[in-house]
Amino acid sequence: MYFEIITEVKANFETVAGNFDQRLLTKVSPSFPPARLLRYDGNMPGNEVHVELNFLLFRQVWKSKIISFQKNEERMVFVDEGTELPFFLSYWHHEHRVERKGQSSLIRDKVTFRTPIVITDYLMFPAMYLQFWSRKAKYRRYFRNLVFSEGGK
């Protein structure tokens, strides 16, 4: 299954690209299941991100590896792929893209996932989509507060 969520934030490209980091990840993580960041190496190829998801009655570890990174004056793109996934996922590919848009920036989350059984792809789609849709407000708030604290950059 594939979806793309596009969010415009009122912060310049340099600010957004420069702050796509561990702190941002903790701010945009979903409220359910609660996630605890176990490891964050960065956004460069070979770096890893490990998260523990707490489903109340059990916990699952999610590990991803950064497989590519590109940056120029107009965009920054990096991709993570799941290497150890919760039981309900068999494949994970997430492209994080930040693009310059005048004095603002566009954040594009492009997600491809699969579950062990095709029918559950369709059942999981709404939950996965909503998890990323909820990031829109979190991205906007995070970068608005960041710009405000930096004095309007």
pLDDT in tens, 89-115: 999 999 999 999 999 999 999 999 999
Which residues have a Cβ under 8 Å from the Cβ of 152 and sit 6 or more positions away? none
Range of the structural domain that residue 29 is part of = 2-149
Q: Which position has the token pair 């991205």?
A: 139
CA 152 – CA 77 distance, rounded (Å): 25
CATH number at residue 52: 3.30.530.20
Count of domains observed in the chain:
1
Q: Residue 20 in 3-state DSSP?
A: coil
Helices 135-149 & 118-133, crossing angle to 10 degrees? 30
- Each of the 153 residues of the chain gets a pLDDT tens digit; together they read 999 999 999 999 999 999 999 888 888 887 788 888 899 999 999 999 999 989 888 999 999 999 999 999 999 999 999 999 999 999 999 999 999 999 999 999 999 999 999 999 999 999 999 999 999 999 999 998 877 766 544
Tokens matching residue 56: 């109340």
Comparing CA positions, the residue from 93, 82, 2, 71 lying closest to residue 48 is 82
Comparing CA positions, the residue from 15, 18, 1, 35 lying closest to residue 135 is 35
